[in-house]
Amino acid sequence: MNKQQQCNGANDKIKLVTPLLLLSILSLYGCATIKTAQPQKEDPYENFNRSMFKFNNNVDGYVAKPISDGYKYVTPQFLQTGVYNFYNNLKNVNIVINDALQAKFSQGAQDTGRLALNSTLGLAGIFDVAKSVGWEQNDEDFDQTLAVWGVPAGSYLVLPVMGPSTFRGIPGAAFDTATNPSTYVGTAVNIVSMINTRANAEGSLKFINEAALDPYVFTRESFLQWRNNLATDGKSQSSYDLDLDDEFESLPADGKKKPADQTAIQINPVK
């Protein structure tokens, strides 16, 4: 296995184990149409969201994926990496602004250094020089800033083309778009950015397709957990310790129903 293959393998691996990294941008997978019963409290618009999820899947299948596949076919890996690094470096402007808005000054100093280093020695961001000196990119955006300021996430929403979001995520995305330099460079650059984003989401989308029994619910839950983890800088562990022992007190230790239990129910009829 040569170095490039190893890198690709490693990239695939991280995409496999962290399928959520790009779900904020795209959720272009459909799901089998199923009847929805009571909507979850965090998803009161489930019927609408499922329709939008299906729509996005169709857009992906007929438009985004073919273009992305073509891009990957004709673009050498080193160029794909350079394009990814270029747009990723521009995103550092958002990150630095949101560092400041969240009063993360030490982290902001490192992210500013990262932006400066990659924009100069990294030839306008084409090379991620900062990573090689150990400055990993932080992940900050305005939705997280709003969360830090105490704004609740609101209900889950699937937006046309944009994919998963929440009510809080809409102004968050608008602010981030306004503060990202690539927004002002021109339509052609933005189209390349979108194609590049879709190409990099391939591993995540493949993982969802392989792992999910219900891709809509899988995407919603992973998105909400991932965003919550980012907003709390990993401090929220509410979903880690799920244990329903309290709800199973009436059951034997192994949690299984026994015929005797069923009998007991039958012979205790009714007042």
Partner 1 sequence: MFFKYFKAGAIASTLLFNTVIVSAQENTNATAKQVVEKFQADLISVMKNGKQLGYAGRYSNLQEAVINSHDLPKIARVIVGKEWEKLSEDQQNKLEDLIIRLSIASYAHNFKDYAGESFTYDSEEETTRGGILVHSHLNIPDDKPVKFDYMLKETGASWRIINIIANGVSDLALKRSEYTSILQNEGFDSLVSKIDGKISDYSKL
Euclidean distance between CA atoms 27 and 163, whole angstroms: 5
Q: Are 96 and 111 in contact (CB under 8 A)?
A: yes
Identity of residue 183: T
Q: How many helices (H) and strands (E) does the chain have?
A: 12, 2
Nearer to partner 1, 174 or 257 (CB): 257
Both tokens assigned to 3: 């170095």
Nearer to partner 1, 42 or 161 (CB): 42
Least separation in angstroms between residue 94's CB and partner 1 is 18
Nearer to partner 1, 1 or 270 (CB): 1
Interface with partner 1 (CB under 8 A): 1, 6-7, 9-11, 13-14, 16-18, 20-21, 34-38, 40, 136-137, 210-214, 217-218, 220-222, 225-226, 228-230, 234, 236-237, 239-244, 247-248, 251, 254-259
Both tokens assigned to 67: 């273009």
Burial class, 151, CB count within 10 angstroms (exposed 0-12 / middle 13-18 / buried 19+)? middle
Least separation in angstroms between residue 245's CB and partner 1 is 8
Least separation in angstroms between residue 201's CB and partner 1 is 16
Least separation in angstroms between residue 106's CB and partner 1 is 19
Euclidean distance between CA atoms 90 and 109, whole angstroms: 16
Nearer to partner 1, 196 or 222 (CB): 222
Longest dimension (CA), the chain: 82
Nearer to partner 1, 187 or 247 (CB): 247
Rounded to an integer, what is the distance from CA 222 to the centroid of its chain? Answer: 7
Least separation in angstroms between residue 39's CB and partner 1 is 10
